[in-house]
């Protein structure tokens, strides 16, 4: 049986796995705990069969761990969208609220939210919402900072951990579904030059490293 703490950890491991190799340091940063705390919890997760540890490839979720992570992510993203659509929250306010609520709603309440919202596929930040069966859409995307320029793109999602970033990109109208042209990056790791419609904007590298897009 999972607990809020276990759900936080498996969710963090799942997200880290989707980006590559999972490290204790990455888990600690995502969960907001110390490295010793991660080591202690990993031992517990292994004993409870949520996680397996390979000598060569490192930390991985088991089938149980992945299912628990996707269930938690589904509740989180449905709550984010519900807070925006039904309660008038801004998209930069909902992450922390959903973090608190995701462990405490029943399966019935989760399903009622999904039905109320029309069984949505994406949350306000463009992240795919897992289905009740544990399936999740895989999108052909990469970070703006990874594209060779020039290239025409459509923004798919924005990382939601930094409210200040979300407010910043909203002011620039860099929202999921927006079509842009990535023109170039200034020399020596400088800002990225983008075109949105007839507007040219300059985007700091830190922001470009948190915005995903796909080529069109």
pLDDT of residue 97: 95
pLDDT digits (tens, 9 = 90+) for 97-146: 999 999 999 999 999 999 999 999 999 999 999 999 999 998 899 999 99
Residue 171, pLDDT > 90, answer yes
Residues of the chain with CATH 2.30.30.90: 142-215
Q: Which residues contact 26 (CB under 8 A, 6 or more apart)?
A: 12, 16
Question: What architecture is domain 4-61?
Answer: Orthogonal Bundle (1.10)
Question: What architecture is domain 142-215?
Answer: Roll (2.30)
Q: What is the b/e burial string over 141-174, where b = at least 16 CB atoms within 10 angstroms of the residue's CB? A: beebbebeeeeebebbbbbbebeebbeebeebeb
Residues of the chain with CATH 1.10.10.10: 4-61
């Amino acid at each position: 049986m999972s607990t809020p703490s276990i759900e936080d950890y498996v969710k963090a491991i799942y997200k880290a796995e989707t980006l590559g190799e999972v490290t204790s340091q990455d888990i600690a940063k995502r969960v907001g705990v110390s490295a010793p705390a991660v080591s202690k919890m990993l031992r517990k997760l292994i004993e409870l069969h949520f996680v397996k540890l390979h000598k060569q490839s490192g930390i991985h979720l088991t089938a149980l761990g992945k299912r628990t992570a996707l269930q938690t992510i589904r509740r989180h993203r449905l709550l984010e969208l519900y807070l925006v659509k039904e309660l008038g929250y801004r998209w930069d306010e909902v992450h922390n609220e959903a973090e608190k609520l995701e462990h405490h709603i029943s399966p019935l309440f989760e399903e009622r939210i999904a039905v109320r919202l029309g069984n949505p596929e994406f949350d306000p930040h463009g992240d795919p919402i897992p289905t009740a069966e544990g399936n999740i859409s895989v999108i052909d995307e990469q970070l703006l900072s990874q594209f060779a320029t020039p290239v025409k793109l459509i923004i798919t999602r924005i990382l939601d951990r930094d409210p200040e970033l979300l407010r910043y990109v909203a002011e620039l109208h860099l929202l999921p579904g927006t079509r842009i042209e990535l023109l170039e990056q200034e020399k020596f790791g400088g800002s990225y030059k983008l075109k949105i419609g007839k507007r040219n904007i300059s985007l700091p590298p830190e922001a470009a490293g948190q915005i995903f897009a796909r080529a069109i």
